[in-house]
Structure 1
Amino acid sequence: MSNKQLQDAYIVAAARTPIGKAPRGMFKNTRPDELLVHAIRAAVAQVPGLDTSVIEDAIVGCAIPEAEQGLNVARMGALLSGLPNTVGGVTVNRFCASGLTALVMAADRIRVGESDAMIAGGCESMTMVPMMGNKPSLSPHIFDRGEDVGIAYGMGLTAERVAERWKVSRDAQDQFALQSHQRALAGQQAGEFKDEIAPYTLVERFPDLATGEVRVKTREVSLDEGPRPDTSIEGLAKLRPVFANKGSVTAGNSSQTSDGAGALIVVSEKMLKQFNLTPLARFVSFAVRGVPPEIMGIGPKEAIPAALKAAGLKQDDIDWIELNEAFAAQSLAVIQDLGLDPAKVNPIGGAIALGHPLGATGAIRASTVVHALRRRNLKYGMVTMCVGTGMGAAGIIERL
């Protein structure tokens, strides 16, 4: 084996679409591959000096890669975005960590010296492709051993298990949800998302019954659709539990089903010099760890320390943490268990307010971290999330 030292992987572009609500939001008629194309084009536009013919592959995360986001949506997106035919494409699936895993895989290709320029991304339409896919079929063998039964639990039920085991109250969950909306709204008003969001032009067609013609209406969307100014603790408290009769997890303290896409461009130092590019950030480390499926939400508790160890960093070194808010219950349990600084966790809101388009979330939140670190002159950021069937993932990024 070669003893060649790993080289650094640099992020030179990070862009995303606004996030739409599913199933009746602004992207209800927009295909996920179209959202991916938009994100790729926006990322490429951020580095006009880069010759796209040097990009070797596009790695794209998607949690339910079928129907409108099937047929290797990564390759489809690369071709439809206008990239040269020489750019490959591969779709990867690690459920909610798919987009982050795509970034890790792209960075690793560069770190081991097998590539010099890669696209990493994620896309998901929870409007067009149902949560479990069009034909869900779990292996019956998950019932052979008691410890495997948790695989069959719905995500909400796993959140109830976490809330019970880590003693996270209903009020604490609702307060966390309210804070997510408040932070997201404040972030939108302050223009915190401007650098990462590429505005999308919606084209809508309506029949004119009087003339028999089809009227075309266009509008530009540039903000995530989820944050609600009318969210209140009183309103959240009135919502009924949806997963357990006497539970505490509600639609209001859970992540929103959503549509969206994100894309990043990762290059080697050779590319930086060849095209005189300014790196936005350096990819530092990644870790994934497994936990019992019935408490999948606690996954980041295991992945975060592992990613920190791989980076040679301490928890206090991390300035910004994007902890995906699958559920308030699991987010609070992770914060509580690891002793994370709440001020550093989702400073401009999380998935409860902003949305969680499954396989796209990792790429979207990585874009948030990259631009937030530069905007606020911070050093290290982290993207972390729980993952279905019992996993946690965490990736660390350094501003340069």
Structure 2
Amino acid sequence: MAKQVQDAYIVAATRTPIGKSGRGYFRNTRPDDLLVAAVQSALRQVPTLDPKAIEDAIVGCSFPEGEQGMNIARAAMLLAGLPQSVGGVTVNRFCASGLTALQMAADRIRIGEADVMIAGGAESMSLVPMGGNKPSFNPAVFEKDENVGIAYGMGLTAEKVAAQWKVSREAQDAFALQSHQRALAAQAAGEFTDEMTPIDVVDRFPNLATGEVGSKTRTVTLDEGPRPDTSLEGLARLRPVFAAKGSVTAGNSSQTSDGAGALILASEKAVRQFDLKPLARFVSYAIRGVPPEIMGIGPIEAIPLALKHAGLKLDDLGWIELNEAFAAQALAVIGSVGLDPAKVNPMGGAIALGHPLGATGAIRSATVVHALQRHNLKYGMVTMCVGMGQGAAGILERV
């Protein structure tokens, strides 16, 4: 078994704003272009780094087809202007794809096979629908009851978690409102500035008077999802969308979204060689499988294992990014693990900010890196549930 021989440090971390899928900021923006922008922004954070020293790029994407197919990692690195010597591989662990990419990049450094790596994630749910353009389950999935959960829609799994963990509709809606309130407060305070890469969006429209196509460029600097008009009354009026007598609604579920994130990792040798400033050390990672039909509880199993690998206790964590796939599963995880609600998603989560699937792990890792620096905290964690029944958790340490 390979043993860790050196530490992996995050020396740059950034993300794009998150746009709503369908009719949002990035409805016509290619995900590889979003990834290119994030990578180029990350590179600008380390001007003394020789790009030729970058060994490889690992990028997470939940549905790597269409506009985000053809190995988006390799294509984006070339489009970003990196040397042809820099490799690129796309990985898929659904919602944990971006976090898995970070773990894989860190591990290459930690076992001494690389000194500089890029990790990231990209997803356009506007251009590539959830499930992809041609979903096709193996017929064997439906032949045995224990396998049917593989094909469950995420919303149905949230309903099952809400029922089994006794999470009320009122608690879910209150959690959703808090997500929006925290996100709006963080935006107003400028707390996303350090982690954000502004994106220029070109809108094109017909000029009926001249018969030509006009264009207008606008710069996107904030996540599109947080809504100041969100209220408990408004959330309570929403109907369940996954079960007739259920409690999971569009208002207490994560938003489908578009976005990308990128991080640059370096060994201590590379930090010294290129005069880089480490922001965080990659400490540990854990992945655990759970029953697919209650996939939302994945972090309940992954978090203790990540803490064990790190030699830490729950109280050691100062900042926790728990992806809010659904309020029901987030509350089940918080209650079961014993997380401090004040430390969980202090700037809001996916219910308000959005969840561009394969990009979320990289995006929320950038959030943790900068939050630890800004608030002078020692340890932070990114954790999420994963479709088909998995949970992932990664721990970072401020340097």
* TM-score in terms of structure 2 length: 0.99
Could you tell me which residue of structure 2 aligns to residue 254 of structure 1? 253
Could you tell me which residue of structure 1 aligns to residue 54 of structure 2? 55
Is the counterpart of residue 23 in structure 1 residue 22 in structure 2?
A: yes
Q: Which amino acid aligns with 1:312?
A: G
Q: Deviations over 1:215-252 (max 9, x none)?
A: 22111110000000000000000000000000000000
Q: Deviations over 1:282-337 (max 9, x none)?
A: 00000000000000000000000000000000000000000000000000000010
Report the Cα distance in structure 1 between the residues aligned to 2:57 and 2:99, rounded to whole angstroms.
Answer: 13
Could you tell me which residue of structure 2 aligns to residue 171 of structure 1? 170
**Superposition deviation, residue 203 in structure 1:** 1.1
Could you tell me which residue of structure 2 aligns to residue 323 of structure 1? 322
Could you tell me which residue of structure 2 aligns to residue 10 of structure 1? 9
Could you tell me which residue of structure 1 aligns to residue 339 of structure 2? 340
Report the Cα distance in structure 2 between the residues aligned to 1:218 and 1:298, rounded to whole angstroms.
Answer: 42
Q: Which amino acid aligns with 2:275?
A: N
Could you tell me which residue of structure 2 aligns to residue 280 of structure 1? 279
Q: Deviations over 1:128-162 (max 9, x none)?
A: 00101111000111123221111111100000000
Report the Cα distance in structure 2 between the residues aligned to 1:82 and 1:204, rounded to whole angstroms.
Answer: 25
Could you tell me which residue of structure 2 aligns to residue 67 of structure 1? 66
Q: Classify the secondary structure of the residue corresponding to 1:382.
A: strand
Could you tell me which residue of structure 1 aligns to residue 147 of structure 2? 148
Q: Classify the secondary structure of the residue corresponding to 2:123.
A: strand
Could you tell me which residue of structure 2 aligns to residue 219 of structure 1? 218
- 1:150 to 1:5, Cα distance in 2 relative to 1, 3 A: closer
Q: Structure 1: which 4+ aligned runs deviate by more than 4 Å?
A: none
**Superposition deviation, residue 212 in structure 1:** 2.1
Q: Deviations over 1:144-197 (max 9, x none)?
A: 322111111110000000000000000000000000000000000000000001
Report the Cα distance in structure 1 between the residues aligned to 2:81 and 2:231, rounded to whole angstroms.
Answer: 45
Q: Which amino acid aligns with 1:234?
A: E
Could you tell me which residue of structure 2 aligns to residue 380 of structure 1? 379
Report the Cα distance in structure 1 between the residues aligned to 2:385 and 2:308, rounded to whole angstroms.
Answer: 19
Is the counterpart of residue 84 in structure 1 residue 89 in structure 2?
A: no
Superposition pairs of residues 88-237 of structure 1, within 5 angstroms: 88-237=87-236
Report the Cα distance in structure 1 between the residues aligned to 2:277 and 2:52, rounded to whole angstroms.
Answer: 19
Q: Classify the secondary structure of the residue corresponding to 2:33.
A: helix
Q: Which amino acid aligns with 1:44?
A: L
Q: Which amino acid aligns with 1:60?
A: V
CA RMSD of aligned residues (A): 0.8
Q: Which amino acid aligns with 1:202?
A: V
Mind listing any 5+ residue stretches in structure 1 that lack a counterpart? none
Report the Cα distance in structure 1 between the residues aligned to 2:4 and 2:245, rounded to whole angstroms.
Answer: 55
- 1:163 to 1:5, Cα distance in 2 relative to 1, 3 A: closer
Q: Classify the secondary structure of the residue corresponding to 2:194.
A: coil
Mind listing any 5+ residue stretches in structure 2 that lack a counterpart? none
**Superposition deviation, residue 214 in structure 1:** 2.2
Report the Cα distance in structure 2 between the residues aligned to 1:93 and 1:205, rounded to whole angstroms.
Answer: 33
Could you tell me which residue of structure 2 aligns to residue 312 of structure 1? 311
Report the Cα distance in structure 2 between the residues aligned to 1:281 and 1:194, rounded to whole angstroms.
Answer: 18
**Superposition deviation, residue 206 in structure 1:** 1.6
Q: Which amino acid aligns with 1:388?
A: G
Could you tell me which residue of structure 2 aligns to residue 365 of structure 1? 364
Is the counterpart of residue 397 in structure 1 residue 396 in structure 2?
A: yes
Aligned pairs, number: 399
**Superposition deviation, residue 5 in structure 1:** 4.6
